[in-house]
Amino acid sequence: MHHLLALWFILAFGLWAKSMSKDHVKTVELAHWGSLDERKKAIEACSVIPYCFRALVANLEHEDREIREAAARSLGFLGLKESVEPLRQAIEKEQNEKVKSVMIWALGSTRVKNSREHAQYLEPMLNDKNPVIRRSVAFALGALRQAESLSPLKNRAQNEENEWVKVELYRSILAIDLTEQDTQKSLAALLRSKDPSIRYRAAIVIHELRVRSARDELKRAIFLEEDPQVRDAMEQAYITCVHR
């Protein structure tokens, strides 16, 4: 009986795997040659299929902005080191700032041995005139976690006025060196922002990095917060800072 069950399981698994393989092949085909809607859906599905790599790279040059953006995002989720050069070439050519920001994020998400080289490539973009680009660069540098990036990140933070960029700069600085006391204080101060989205993001970062020095600021912020979603994020951050 046990042998029959085992045989049935093996056969069922084989049929399932074969079906999945066919589905993946179809996805790759649509990512290459499908209509715009089919192609976009296929590209999004490719975020978990490594052998979609060539189709995704080809779509970085597609004339449609949404296709290029989706291809860059899926490459970021895959995180393959082979994505680095195609992404860098695409960043240099890209004119749409939103798409470019996704490409920069994807570059920071790739698993590369010589991350310092890619950090050096990104660091000058911290001074880009567009805050969307600066924010993505800050996030990417935090993902690469190169100690040499601390100085340009801190220099940018001193001059940055956009709070969305600030929170990502602080996150990246602390991801590289959690002992940066001034940055911890600056991050906690964003819990007082007038923008609930900034307060929410600051609480998420504090929770993620376990910035224990933010406990008192969190306690005050929780007491004053009117937005239930933001307050929940603050409470989770407070629990992490106190008990973990």
Domain with residue 108: its CATH number is 1.25.10.10
Do residues 125 and 107 both lie within one domain?
no
Residue 134 lies in a domain: yes
Q: Which of 129, 161, 193 is at the close of a domain? A: 161
Q: Is 106 inside a domain boundary?
A: yes
225 Cβ neighbours under 8 A, 6+ residues apart: 199, 231, 234
Contacts 24+ apart (CB under 8 A), 89-97: 89/60, 90/60, 90/61, 93/61, 94/68, 96/65, 96/68, 96/69, 97/130, 97/132, 97/133
By C-alpha distance, which of 93, 97, 57 is closest to 74? Answer: 57
Q: Is residue 220 part of a domain?
A: yes
Question: Do 188 and 232 belong together in one domain?
Answer: yes
pLDDT in tens, the chain (244 residues): 545 555 545 444 443 344 446 677 788 888 888 899 999 999 999 888 888 899 999 999 999 999 999 999 999 999 988 999 999 999 999 999 999 999 999 998 886 666 788 899 999 999 999 999 999 999 999 998 999 999 999 999 999 999 999 999 999 999 999 999 999 999 999 999 999 999 999 999 999 999 999 999 999 999 999 999 999 999 999 999 987 5
Residue 33 lies in a domain: no
Residue at 124 is within a domain:
yes
108 and 48 within one domain: yes
What tens digit of pLDDT does each residue of 163-197 get? 999 999 999 999 999 999 999 999 999 999 999 99
The domain of 222 spans 178-244
Do residues 150 and 193 both lie within one domain?
no
**Is 223 a domain residue?**
yes
Q: How far apart are CA 183 and CA 28, in angstroms?
A: 44
Does residue 204 lie in a domain region?
A: yes
Q: Domain tally for the chain? A: 3
Q: Which of 131, 161, 191 is the last residue of a domain?
A: 161
Residues 108, 46 within the same domain: yes
**106 and 44 housed in the same domain:** yes
Does 145 share its domain with 183? no
Residues 88 and 73 in one domain: yes
Examine the domain organization and report whether 108 and 119 are in the same domain.
no
pTM of the model: 0.84
Q: Are 128 and 191 in a shared domain?
A: no
In a domain, 4, yes or no: no
